[in-house]
Structure 1
């Protein structure tokens, strides 16, 4: 992770012919055209973004594409989790087809996780697979959803249940754009940063305990946290591209978190993804304590750090009424990691010691949820 080209860090996701670079650093949005043209010369670009991001960053991107002599078309979508739906997917597909772009042309995702997931799905299915570039504008997207090629939309049955694996050709993470995020959005993204320490890097979690305020303040620690997170994910994806094995560890906190998002109807006023992950990670550690796999001290330490950064950790932290435990269990039963009807969770034996727990008894989960609600 040695810096090069000034303050820009370059990481490589090694996937054979599908390998690609992740660039992390300031002002990369202004260099987007040059970076894309260097790898995909002469492509036409279909930009997908949302209303909030377009107002802040679209002109910088289009100026960069124009400077690199790349032509483009743009579609601006509504902001929010509800855009990850079949309705907006089909609208985006029609837009790209209407531009008459070819398989070798590129779909550019300019936005957070919602836009990145939707755009990647569009790129994966239009003409059976177009080129794809991620330009993530949220912390959550920069450290998680932009890396690894998982794309998709939500269903009434649950989150991210419809999609494909489609790797990007390039990820451009401009750290300066994070300065435009609200405090809530940044905190939500930070939950995914914490996740990497809790999976298998206890030293990183300890570093975050000591340096989280500097990460929030935007010093060099922010770039370090993003780079470490991306390297963690890149290493896992290189070993297990299609989530057949230990890539599932990246879902620590997500089984509970996705259930909470579904239960709140993906209403971002009540809960955003990173907040659901934070609660989910706290629940996963407490559930591990219940199963005698993790010490109560470690679970309390995790919760204390999340609370210190302003993140929610309990079901009662979600505004409004929550459904009963039985309904939450129904959402969990729709999780992508369920195999032949058996519940699968990412649990832990302590900080940085997560593992895949298969065949978790639903009775244990239900009893735990009843205690939490």
Structure 2
């Protein structure tokens, strides 16, 4: 299995995962096993599909990270997001399908716990033109992944609640799914200004958490609703919630909202509404560096690196020695130096004679050999080491 930029797609490649319709993210465009033709590749380009997962026999181990069952569950969650946004925007007295959310997210949780190697972020759940749906689905998934990893910390931060209930992250996921629903209540001019400038100091923009809270209050569980209200709170007290709600520094802000804040900011850095999508390593470098790093709970920020590999398995990258390699596995201790396999010729992926080569752990190589390019972008200066992460309390970042 290999993730291929559509520019490298070739006739005869067989899909390892379905391709969803960017114009309608709940609809399957092409099924698993479909063999690409020149006409279909052009159609995908016209639809602005950016990448696809294809079968690649010598890289079958990557299937441990992503599989068809997981894709089906994630599609169900995306459908819920689409339905929820449409319902809230068109019916002022709409009742959110909370039970439906709970069922689909429980399926997702079961899938992640049953297949722990799939519990990493490999990219958007919904590759769609609808910015709110794409962002909502990604933030939900990121928050859920971090929530599952932070079980011990969540129980500690919710010590007034029975531990069996405290560790449940369904409401975290639902709140993260709907965190930006208040954006639909803003004037078009306010939304467009934010999308062009990313200026969070605009007083009108700062009202969207409170507006969203009013939309979901009484329709969601309180711990889910607090995520909607407080996802722009900051660890250093510099955040906002809109309305007359105060800034909540440190752990005065609910742990679910602190997790959602990291997920929300990271995803905006990764794919800002006013620019092209950036490589994951660049977004990670930005959120882990000042002035942003001190704005977030360090325990949550450290866990972001656990669930979001800078170079995800299945991606083709270029090394400093000009070799092209595919990432095979993550490296928790040195995230930017993962396990890789040499690709003979990345431009001939559809050629059965194009065999993969040597496998090695990049962290075992000299420091002069590093990942220099991904997605056609020079990322040399964005590589980081784990010892540069903000200081967290290791006793509280207990992982499941």
Q: Please report the TM-score for the alignment, with normalisation by the length of structure 2.
A: 0.28
Higher percent of residues as helix: 1
